[in-house]
Amino acid sequence: MNIVVETDRLIIKEFEEADVLSLYKIESDKKIIEFLPWVKLSNEKECRRQIKKYINEYKKNKLNSWAVAIKETGEIIGITRLIYSNKIKGVELGTKILPEYWNKGYASELSRAIVDYGLYELGIDEITAVTDINNAGAIKSLINMGMQLKKYGYYNGTEAAFYSIKRE
């Protein structure tokens, strides 16, 4: 297991081929994908292909998507990513967490750790997160971890709020 970042309760790690069912569980959860303004993975075959793509990219690029696991049990409860986005012309943070783990501080803990990794380990100057304007939970999490509203706009045809944080 290649660990990217650890927090008190979480391990953020590179995906492995054995994580297909965990990825599918996240990608197929209707509560998670309701507010996501990007392409969703709709079956296990697409998830398997996506994990292979992640694994290949780990060798080439520090910006990528990673599995989020509970440190105590190893259960994968989410996905996080730092990627360069042409849509925002910068580095974008994205996070998905299974609903049974919402409102427990995991999203803020995870986002804070990944943002610190991006800003201070990778040397990124600014990280932006984009969320549907109706996703109150995500907005609360972004504010809690120190991001500030940059603007409102559209992202993949969805009305969105753009939050960002800069390296000090």
Of the two residues 149 and 37, the one the predictor is more confident about is 149
Q: What is the pLDDT of residue 37?
A: 57
- On the question of pLDDT at 42 being above 80, the answer is no
Q: What is the pLDDT of residue 33?
A: 74
| Structural domains of the chain ordered from first start | 3-166 (3.40.630.30)
Helices (H), 19-75: 20-27, 30-33, 44-58
C-alpha to C-alpha distance for 1 and 166, rounded to whole angstroms: 30
C-alpha to C-alpha distance for 3 and 124, rounded to whole angstroms: 20
pLDDT (average), residues 19-39 = 82
- On the question of pLDDT at 39 being above 70, the answer is no
pLDDT (average), residues 114-134 = 94
- On the question of pLDDT at 145 being above 90, the answer is no
Residue 56 per-residue DSSP state: H
**Number of H helices and number of E strands within the chain?**
5, 8
Share of the chain above pLDDT 70, in %: 96
Question: Any bridge partners for residue 166, and if so which?
Answer: 126
Q: Is the pTM value of this prediction over 0.85?
A: yes
C-alpha to C-alpha distance for 52 and 35, rounded to whole angstroms: 26
Q: What is the pLDDT of residue 34?
A: 74
